[in-house]
Amino acid sequence: MAERGDVLQVKRRLGFGADRAGERVVVIQADPLNEALPTILIVPLDSDPNAVPESLAVRVSAAEAGTDEDCVAIPTQLQVALQGRLAAGRVGRLRPGTLALLDDKLRLVLDL
């Protein structure tokens, strides 16, 4: 089961961002809902540091993203996906500080 802060790989494109292989997303949905629902809330990662305005960007290290290069999480592209569209097993995990920063940006985007 996916956990909040996990970085997962998409089996097939979800339809946001530029066309790229191995698209990765961050799980932002609460863990109890991840077990109970067939859908999951996610935010995409992009290797282009200019994919989102600096004021909304959340830098994600390559180690956290499970990639060869640093990424940026894009909180303005919050998505719902069927859990079956995501490959089993995490490829990375956000550090607590990175996840907290993403939470701050999501609160800004959602006006919470």
Q: Is the overall model pTM greater than 0.85, yes or no? A: yes
Q: Is 98 within 8 Å of 64 (Cβ atoms)? A: yes
pLDDT (tens digit per residue) in 7-60 = 999 886 555 555 544 689 999 999 999 989 999 999 999 999 898 899 999 999
Q: Cα–Cα distances in Å, from 100 out to 95, 96, 106?
A: 9, 6, 10
Report the pLDDT value the prediction gives residue 20, as an integer from 0 to 100. Answer: 47
| Domains in the chain: boundaries | 6-110
Residue 1: pLDDT band by 50, 70, 90 thresholds?
confident
35 SS3 class:
helix
Architecture per CATH, 6-110: Roll (2.30)
